[in-house]
Structure 1
């Protein structure tokens, strides 16, 4: 579904792929969870080349080879079953594929959107569901346990790479000790690097549904600080803190949390 307007390119020799920016023509929201190596509260940096995030992996052969050269050993697909069926991931040589389903934006609700307010309400429900719904908590807990147990580079993704993938990245960067402001900036990066895709689909909305619907449908195509705040608010209401949500809500024990930090930190 997602195609960028630039060709695939790798900005490094194969041996250094994990240390440089890799951009994919067929997955424009692919990037390193660590960003440029975000600073942490203890003066360290998040380790690059270990965890990657993306939108759906409907990849060209060239892009699949680029991911293989990064050494990715495991891919975790967070999409609904019907999303997987409609747009299955391309195989990446050397990696295993695992489906960990998290409910995303309900398409039946999107299909009937009439106002921007309705779109905002749908997105708020999605983000609160990451915290409030048992299935969401179970899935994010499973994902983080799998990451903690991993020994090689891993990748997780959903459809657009902004909501389910965004929340998982928020949790990982929090665990690494990255400042909240930096976590928010990283979350919002989707809006920049996927702007060509968003423009394309909003253009289709304008053409087929009319210009008055562009503002309505934009609500479900962007990362927004207000959406993230919905999840944070649900965390505060139910658990009091992100750390308590990780431990009590996701059921992550001290050993798992410690293993995650070992993987994340230089």
Structure 2
């Protein structure tokens, strides 16, 4: 079953105030060997600017920890709404610097910026430390956990791709899941591009667009950097993020039914 196939007829928990909130295990994902993944273990999202009813929905899922990947500036600008029963943890990874889009000269520069951000997920020591802390915490948890950034697209998408890789999900499903952000957050993306057109001019929209989509070129840039720096994605997980064989196996056991 591919990610695209499984989307049809799916029944998912959706939040009105966080459009990119979803189960990491997707609508019925399986490992490459055909093993089903366990639903409701790990959740991913964009920033948690939640309505009261949505916060209550997250509490009803039994989520006990919220891991916030945003920078300190992002957190201070838009603090998460508290999820009842969940502990908030800050695992900062630098994404697109606030206001950086306005400085980009054209779409090509925007694409290169995004490629560099994903390569930085591998080469930047602080990013590796935060990703390692987050994934190790997921592996050793016994209750549902949630992780998020601002759009739930890049930092969150990277973690979700790594988690699914450890579970043994086929690459094409990992990629399709990564791209689901473009469908789930289309309304939010259109809203922000509308604001760009309104305040900066319609001619600036093409420059901003590459920073607001999930593109396989970005994901591949990070994965290729992992291979270049550590020999393989598993080498990056082990030597770059400090995830031992036992931790990776524990993570897999959390995910595989």
Q: TM-score, normalised by structure 2?
A: 0.94
What is the root-mean-square deviation of aligned Cα atoms in Å? Answer: 1.1
Give the structure 1 partner of residue 97 of structure 2.
Answer: 106
Q: What is the alpha-carbon distance in structure 1 between the residues aligned to residue 245 and residue 148 of structure 2? A: 25
Give the structure 2 partner of residue 140 of structure 1.
Answer: 131
Give 2:254's match in structure 1, choosing from 240, 243, 263.
263
Give 2:232's match in structure 1, choosing from 230, 241, 244.
241
Provide Cα deviations, 1:26-67, integer angstroms capped at 9, x if missing partner. 110000000012111222012110000000001010000000
Provide Cα deviations, 1:70-119, integer angstroms capped at 9, x if missing partner. 11011100000011111111111111110000111122432211200110
Q: TM-score, normalised by structure 1?
A: 0.91
Q: What is the alpha-carbon distance in structure 2 between the residues aligned to residue 130 and residue 207 of structure 1? A: 33
Q: What is the alpha-carbon distance in structure 1 between the residues aligned to residue 242 and residue 76 of structure 2? A: 30
Give the structure 1 partner of residue 176 of structure 2.
Answer: 185
Q: Please state whether the residue corresponding to 2:212 is helix, strand or coil.
A: coil
Give 2:70's match in structure 1, choosing from 71, 79, 84.
79
Q: What is the alpha-carbon distance in structure 1 between the residues aligned to residue 41 and residue 217 of structure 2? A: 29
In the TM superposition, residue 146 of structure 1 has moved relative to its aligned partner by: 0.6
1:39-188 paired onto structure 2 within 5 Å? 39-188=30-179
Q: Please state whether the residue corresponding to 1:53 is helix, strand or coil.
A: strand
Q: Please state whether the residue corresponding to 1:36 is helix, strand or coil.
A: coil
Q: Please state whether the residue corresponding to 1:233 is helix, strand or coil.
A: helix
Give the structure 1 partner of residue 204 of structure 2.
Answer: 213
Q: Is the 8 A contact 1:109 1:122 kept in 2?
A: no
5+ unaligned residues in a row in structure 2: which ranges? 1-9
Give the structure 1 partner of residue 241 of structure 2.
Answer: 250
5+ unaligned residues in a row in structure 1: which ranges? 1-18
Q: What is the alpha-carbon distance in structure 2 between the residues aligned to residue 107 and residue 72 of structure 1? A: 29
